[in-house]
Amino acid sequence: MSRLSESVTHVMHLLDEADLGADYTVAQLLGETTARRALDLSDLSPQEQAALVEGRAINMIPSAAALAEKIEAARAAGRSFVVKYGIDPTSPDVHLGHAVPIIIASRFQRMGHHVVFIIGDVTAKIGDPSGRSSERPPLTDQDIARNLSGYQQQVTPFIDFERADLRFNGEWLDKVTLPELIEVLARVPASMSLQREDFRTRLAEGHGLSVAEFVYSVVMAWDSVAIDADVELGGVDQLLNLQMCRKVMEISDRVPEIVITTPLIEGTDGTGAKMSKSKGNYVGLTSSGDEVYGRLMSIPDHLTEPYLRLLTEWTDDEIRVVTKRLGEGTAHPMAVKQILAGEVVAALHGLDAAAAARAEFTARFSTRSFGDTKNLPVVSLEEHAGETLGTLISSTLDFAPSMSAVRRVALQNGLRLIRESDGEQQTRLLSEASVQHTLGEVIDQEGAPDGAKLYLKAGRKVARIDL
């Protein structure tokens, strides 16, 4: 029995019989599944390794069997099996959407393979055109340097850089000569780039398409040639770029890499849009444990299963057990979502942080008393009496992205002023009109607090009012 199989046996016992809402059960479960993130998987056969990766992939080109054969060939030759993951530093933040293929890279590393994490400091100046309706504004060297500053630290929870390489593609792309580039471009059919739906759409609509964008995937493919990659990982939106990597490796007399694409994780708002910083529906890898936990607890129930599949080390069998229990009503959706939130916090910040975030969330949202809740934001009545509730909630507290969002919360009966004394609460529902009232006016309407504590609640978010 493999080490992974032993772990799964322990977890299945908990998932089959235990109360998934109990703190003790969750602590046991997270202890086992979090340990898997460092579990040695080298005792898996090449076929088992390929199957484990295939279970979380959208595409595996040419096949899982080819991946297993390539792993076996590397072992027989006594060489490292090289796994490539690349990212362009077009933003300073890495979020959970980026983590999906990085988690697969982590599994490869624990299988005993060599991960090369490539930062596209040169390709970032072109900008990946995938899915874009217009050309990306060019980045300066200063932009790139600023964005690069925290990349390694952000992905360290998943990748052990003592056993992996961090490379910048400027190492080799800065040395490519024009004759070398032309020689490769002459052997790449233009039809490969014109297969891209985003390119065809932009051309049909009369939007610009630069030559630099057109050859982006060819330039990116140089990375695979430079490190002689066996495998490359990326989101499914990178499929055509990765296929170009196989083509350029072939042109360069290398064995084409295995291409593995992963799903694009849906954003926390559950609208179907992919996780994106620009849409505000993301969870940053640098977010605090409480923030990560709270954001994941806010996702719609239908996202819990795909998030478990893509962001944790759970196996399909374990996910099926939980899904079955949810269908039978022997597990509560909120309890399973809390396990998911704990999984991600533990991955980023450790088990103690996951336990603390769970306790904090329970104190803040699952009990009738806020008095013992730690880390609540505080607003001073003296300082903010003249601010409207809309401004206070959207700007000062950053509880909502806009004034209109605050109004929607009020219309959904989610805006409340809570008076708490001796653990007892009295709640006043605040109307949409109150969004335009100042904090001082709202407190005056409430009357003298008589030693009670006041809290402002907008949706799931709570702030204490310092009187």
How confident is the model over 385-426, as pLDDT tens digits? 888 988 999 888 888 888 888 888 888 777 888 888 776 777
Same domain as 143, residue 67: yes
127 plus 105 within the same structural domain: yes
Structural domain boundaries enclosing 11: 1-37+267-366
107 near 36, Cβ under 8 Å? no
* Whole-number Cα distances in Å, 456 to 205, 365, 432: 49, 13, 15
User: Given the DSSP bridges, would you call strands 258-262 and 114-119 parallel, antiparallel or unpaired?
Assistant: unpaired
In a domain, 314, yes or no: yes
- Strands ordered across the beta sheet of 59-61: 59-61, 258-262, 231-235, 82-87, 114-119, 165-168
Residue 133 has a pLDDT of 45
Q: Does residue 287 carry a pLDDT above 50?
A: yes
Same domain, 123 and 31: no
Task: Tokens for 308, please give them.
Answer: 């478990």
Q: Which of 366, 389, 415 is the endpoint of a domain?
A: 366
**62, 24: one domain:** no
Percent of the chain with pLDDT over 90: 48
| pLDDT surpassing 70 at residue 366 | no
d(CA 308, CA 316): 10
Residues 230-276: tens digit of each pLDDT: 999 999 988 888 999 999 999 999 999 999 999 999 998 888 888 88
Residue 1 is assigned to a structural domain of this protein = yes
Of 4-13, 126-135, 176-185, 375-384, the poorest mean pLDDT is in 126-135
Q: Are residues 83 and 12 in the same domain?
A: no
What pLDDT score was predicted for residue 371? Answer: 64
> Does 318 lie in the same domain as 173?
no
Q: What is the mean pLDDT of residues 433-460?
A: 79
Q: What is the pLDDT of residue 457?
A: 86
395 assigned to some structural domain: yes
User: What is the sign of the dihedral through the CA atoms of 174, 176, 178 and 183?
Assistant: negative
Length of the chain: 467
Do 392 and 304 belong to one domain?
no
Contact 275, 282 (CB under 8 A): yes
Flag whether pLDDT at 293 surpasses 80: yes
pLDDT > 70: percent of the chain: 92
Distance CA 413, CA 392 (A): 18
Same domain, 306 and 454: no
Say if residue 115 is in the same domain as residue 210: yes
- CA-CA distance, 89 to 139, in Å (whole number)? 9
Q: Of 17-31, 53-67, 81-95, 288-302, where does mean pLDDT reach its minimum?
A: 81-95
- Confirm whether 51 is domain-assigned: no
Domain boundary among 316, 337, 366: 366
DSSP state of 117: E
Calculate mean pLDDT across residues 310-338.
93
Q: For residue 124, tell me if it sits in a domain.
A: yes
Report the domain count for the chain. 3
pLDDT on residue 94: 85
Long-range pairs of 327-331 with CB within 8 A, sequence gap ≥ 24: 331/20, 331/21
Longest dimension (CA), the chain: 82
Residue partners of 168: CB distance under 8 A and separation at least 6 = 118, 119, 120, 121, 122
Lowest model confidence (mean pLDDT) among 125-134, 305-314, 407-416: 125-134
| Per-residue model confidence as pLDDT tens digits over 335-345 | 999 999 999 99
Of the listed ranges 84-88, 124-128, 452-456, the one predicted with least confidence? 124-128
- The lowest-confidence range among 136-140, 168-172, 312-316 is 136-140
pLDDT for 81: 97
- pTM for this predicted structure: 0.77
Average pLDDT over residues 111-127: 88
Instruction: Note whether residue 52 is domain-resident.
Output: no
CATH number at residue 353: 1.10.240.10
Same domain assignment for residues 256 and 271:
no
Same domain, 219 and 121: yes
**Which of these three, 344, 366, 388, is where a domain ends?**
366
Residues 6+ apart with CB under 8 A from 411: 432
Domain of 251: which CATH number? 3.40.50.620
Query: How open is the CA angle 250-255-260, to the nearest 5 degrees?
Result: 95
On average, the pLDDT of the chain sits at: 87
50 within domain boundaries: no
Contact 102, 155 (CB under 8 A): yes
